[in-house]
Amino acid sequence: MLFHVRMDVNLPLDMPADVASEIKAREKAYSQDLQRSGKWRHIWRLAGEYANISIFDVESNAELHDILTALPLFPYMNMSVTPLCRHPSSVRDGDA
């Protein structure tokens, strides 16, 4: 199952820099492991925003929920999730 997820990060302005850096390092390691596994298929930064658009390829809604809620930055994010399916006009067979 493919999902489009927009993640907007809102760290508290009074969060100490060392705490923010540690959370971001854990986030990066976790997201890169998911990318290597194929679960987190794509990630794009939104220019000028502390936000990203990502594509996840998971087995179920529950698996996506578990992945997203395990993100170290999850407590500081607003997310919108959209399920995706292959468009009949697509020329790419691998986009199922």
Q: Under a CB-based contact definition with an 8 Å cutoff, are residues 73 and 5 in contact? A: no
Structure tokens at 64: 């996506």
The pLDDT of residue 9:
98
Is the pLDDT reported for residue 96 higher than 70?
A: no
Instruction: Supply the mean pLDDT for the chain.
Output: 95
Is the pLDDT reported for residue 32 higher than 70?
A: yes
Structure confidence by residue, pLDDT tens digits, 47-77:
999 999 999 999 999 999 999 999 999 999 9
Quick one: pLDDT band at residue 88, thresholds 50, 70, 90?
confident
Q: Under a CB-based contact definition with an 8 Å cutoff, are residues 55 and 3 in contact? A: yes
Number of neighbouring beta carbons within 10 Å of residue 75: 10
Residue 87: enclosing H or E segment and its boundaries?
A: none
Instruction: Write down the pTM of the prediction.
Output: 0.91
Q: Under a CB-based contact definition with an 8 Å cutoff, are residues 79 and 5 in contact? A: yes
CA–CA separation, 20 vs 80, rounded Å? 23
Ordered domains of the chain (ranges, CATH):
2-84 (3.30.70.1060)
Residue 17: enclosing H or E segment and its boundaries?
A: helix 17-37
Quick one: pLDDT band at residue 90, thresholds 50, 70, 90?
confident
CA–CA separation, 72 vs 90, rounded Å? 35
